[in-house]
Structure 1
Amino acid sequence: MEIEISSCKHLMYVHEIQQEMYDSAQRRGTGIAKRSLEYLSKKISEGNAVVATQNGKWAGFCYIETWSHGQFVANSGLIVSPEFRNGGVATLIKKKVFKLSREKYPDAKIFGLTTGLAVMKINSELGYKPVIYSELTQDEDFWNGCKSCVNYEILMKKERKNCLCTAMLFVPEIHTTKAAEKVQPKNEYNEEKSRLSI
């Protein structure tokens, strides 16, 4: 299995990717907003996506988008070909697209909307936390992207406060702070002093 940052060589899979996104949303009755071939092709050719293949066959896909002038990044459109499901492909793709997002936009908050338990689990392992919708980008273009979702009416009836998707957010400062706390050197002077005073 090859999990690669996208390039023009992956454009040959764009029709399959778009169709599987549509079919998957229809089967579940929720989820992935429809994206045009032009939109997906642009993501692929600009290197803003991750594509999984095996022996020349398309296996999976996910892309990144920036919102609110780069303050937020979404990992969107995660899809795995039915032939390759239940084999850990989604996890490999999510890890790769997360790493790509962190490299390209190290200070951005990374978020996702999902109805899938498996994706929630992967996101949790990467450090995402469930949040309310108001913590996500308020960029109108992002929310306009939900118009092609079958649940758009629900979203609007709830005034974009929630929907059937779970919102998850990774905040880089929190993780940087926690990592720094873990590697803080021990204060041996204070430990020695405590021991002597006992």
Structure 2
Amino acid sequence: MEIEISSSIHLMYVSEIQQEMYDSAQRRGTGIAKRSIEYLSKKITEGNAVVATDKGKWVGFCYIETWSHGQFVANSGLIVSPEFRHLGVATLIKDKVFTLSRNKYPNAKIFGLTTGLAVMKINSDLGYKPVIYSELTQDEEFWNGCKSCVNYDILMKKERKNCLCTAMLFVPENIKNSAGKSQSENQYNNEQESSFSI
């Protein structure tokens, strides 16, 4: 299996990725902001996504988006093909997209919204902490992306203070160890040297 930063060669998987994002949310009965084929295609061609494949078959996906003029980066849309679940693929993809985010935006706060316990655990292992929504970007365009979520009414009734998703945030300068580097940054540096092919 290969886990790579995306390029135009991965566009062949975009319809399958979009469909699995939707189907997975339906099966779990949770909300997910729908993304168009055009939106996902742009992420892929710009190199702002990570795609996992195995012998020409799509395995998993996640993309990054910047907000508030690069002060915040979201790692979003994490999805793994059903036949490759429970094999640790999501963790490898999140590691790779986290590294991509840190390389492109080293001073940005990295955040995510999720209802998934497994994603919360992965984020926690990377150094994210649960936060209240006011600590996230207040960029209107980000919150407009929630409009297609089935839980959007809840978000608005709560005046964007909380919803069913848990907000998690990684702040580069917050997690320092005795060597003066964050634990997650040490992990990030180690990951840069390791291969993501298994």
Under a length normalisation based on structure 1, what TM-score does the superposition of the two structures give? 0.89
Runs of 4+ in 1 over 2 A off after TM superposition: 177-183
Residue aligning to 1:2? 2
Deviations 1:125-181 (A, max 9, x none): 000000000000000000000001111111011110000000000000113x43644
CA drift of 1:30 comes to 1.4
Residue number in structure 1 paired with 2:177: 178
Alignment match, 1:13? 13
Q: Does 1:43 align with 2:43?
A: yes
Partner of 2:114: 114
Q: How do residues 68-87 of structure 1 correspond to structure 2 at under 5 angstroms? A: 68-87=68-87
Task: Give the structure with higher Rg (CA).
Answer: 1
Maintained 8 Å contact 1:6/1:47: yes
**Within-5 A mapping of 1:135-154:** 135-154=135-154
Q: Which residue of 2 aligns with 1:159?
A: 159
Q: Please give the root-mean-square deviation of Cα atoms over the aligned residues, in Å.
A: 1.3
Match of 1:173, SS state, is: coil
Question: Which digits, 9 at most, give the CA deviation of each residue in 1:54-101, with x for residues without a partner?
Answer: 011000000000000000000000000101111000000000000000
Residues 104 and 179 (structure 1), Cα distance of their counterparts in 2 relative to 1, 3 Å cut: farther
Identity %: 87
- Paired positions, count: 182
1:21-58 per-position Cα deviation (integer Å, ceiling 9, x unaligned): 11111112213210000000000000000000001100
Matching residue's letter, 1:71: Q
TM-score, reference length from structure 2: 0.89
| Unmatched segments (≥5 aa) in structure 2 | 183-198
